[in-house]
Structure 1
């Protein structure tokens, strides 16, 4: 169940400064106004940046209309579908140049509940990156088939074992970063364009000595539109993770 909490004043949480949530979109016209409206109501002090990959269903137009009606909603139009990671890198770069102190990420389909965003922001008081996690105590998923849950849990276990990181939900896409964390991990060098981007960034943060925390969230399967995640996408992500893990182990042995 979504938390009924909003925060006002100088920033959504005292001491965090300017906050923006980056929402990448591709064919999310049916969801965008709904999720942006929920975000603005739940966290009036938080801005929203929609990064649209030239959606053929008119999502970009919806985003422009929302921005025209609300000065805290912004839109970044990309010319083609370039992958989730590429959209986030573009959005993070925009937010850093605009001077935001905290930069977050959230799906446009409602699977991440804006009403729970305050959990992540509050935890950022003692962290550089906070992840809204499905697989820590208190976290949960709604309307997922057992096969998909097993795939996600198994994939995250594989990531922990192969990469040697102590994160239960390294593939999660509900996150907030301090700007210093994104500056330290060198976004310009990120080459992950798909869903493996999430694992890439949390691994970079840990390798850089940054503090990563996980807080429990309730993840809800989308109601409208089609999921961008498929078995093929998951397999490709695991292939990339395997390559990273084996290369790192080889480098350690060589040293």
Structure 2
């Protein structure tokens, strides 16, 4: 399994994240860091981690900050080209618990689902008590908004912690994904659903970051609001 981790100014978190991932009882796990030319030196630290862990850590240096969605498309495409059977995605800010990955993969294998989501909003899922109220409200509203427009029956539609079957990603066709920012998560869920793939949510505890800053901007919020309308228009006559 390859874990794709986009980074931009995550120098305070990337070492801990990689150490925790490589400590998992998953000897075939590979970490692919897609860094958007972070000015804080994240890319250089990632290169050091790759040098210290040959064959297990790879770094993709991208030209600049093009958005979370573009970083994921790049990283996932490279993982598929390298022959990964399963591709995981997670944030670099330690909000997603690496220790939950074996369980996500185990659920994927035992159920033969197309994708398994680490969900905040299914029974047993938790949000860090320190997660700001406005973030909780924004996340709740975003899920309600997308549910209403796209009728996708997933509780955590904006979730960014998941494991995919490689064949599902190939079926979706990463080259057709339009999103640049956080709406990437919604678009991928929508396309997988439209193609008939099974999506399963399992509970996780979502932690508030302790280092670094959120990358959520006004621009990404606007894109996230507009994307569901684009998805309905683009894919309604194609059956995805």
TM-score by length of 2: 0.92
For residues 184-238 of structure 1, the C-alpha deviation after alignment (integer angstroms, 9 at most, x for no partner) is 0011111211110010001110111111111111000100011112455324301
CA RMSD of aligned residues (A): 1.7
* Structure 2: gaps of 5 or more residues: none
3-state SS of paired residue (2:15): helix
Q: How many residues align?
A: 233
- Residue 113 of structure 1 corresponds to 97
Alignment counterpart, residue 149 of structure 1, candidates 136, 159, 171: 136
Q: Distance in 2 between matches of 1:191 and 1:248?
A: 10
> Which aligned segments of 4 or more residues in structure 1 are displaced greater than 4 angstroms?
248-252
CA contact (8 A) 1:105 1:174 kept: yes
CA contact (8 A) 2:119 2:156 kept: yes
Q: 1:165 to 1:78 in 2, by over 3 A?
A: same
- Residue 72 of structure 2 corresponds to 88
For residues 108-136 of structure 1, the C-alpha deviation after alignment (integer angstroms, 9 at most, x for no partner) is 11000101112211110221111111111
Alignment counterpart, residue 42 of structure 1, candidates 21, 24, 27: 24
3-state SS of paired residue (1:171): coil
3-state SS of paired residue (2:23): helix
Alignment counterpart, residue 58 of structure 1, candidates 35, 41, 57: 41
- Residue 186 of structure 2 corresponds to 199
* Structure 1: gaps of 5 or more residues: 1-18
Q: 1:234 to 1:119 in 2, by over 3 A?
A: farther
- Residue 15 of structure 1 corresponds to none
- Residue 97 of structure 1 corresponds to 81
Q: Give the drift of 1:170.
A: 1.1
Moved more, 144-153 or 230-239: 230-239
3-state SS of paired residue (1:205): helix
3-state SS of paired residue (2:20): helix
For residues 4-34 of structure 1, the C-alpha deviation after alignment (integer angstroms, 9 at most, x for no partner) is xxxxxxxxxxxxxxx0100000111111001
Q: Distance in 2 between matches of 1:150 and 1:191?
A: 26
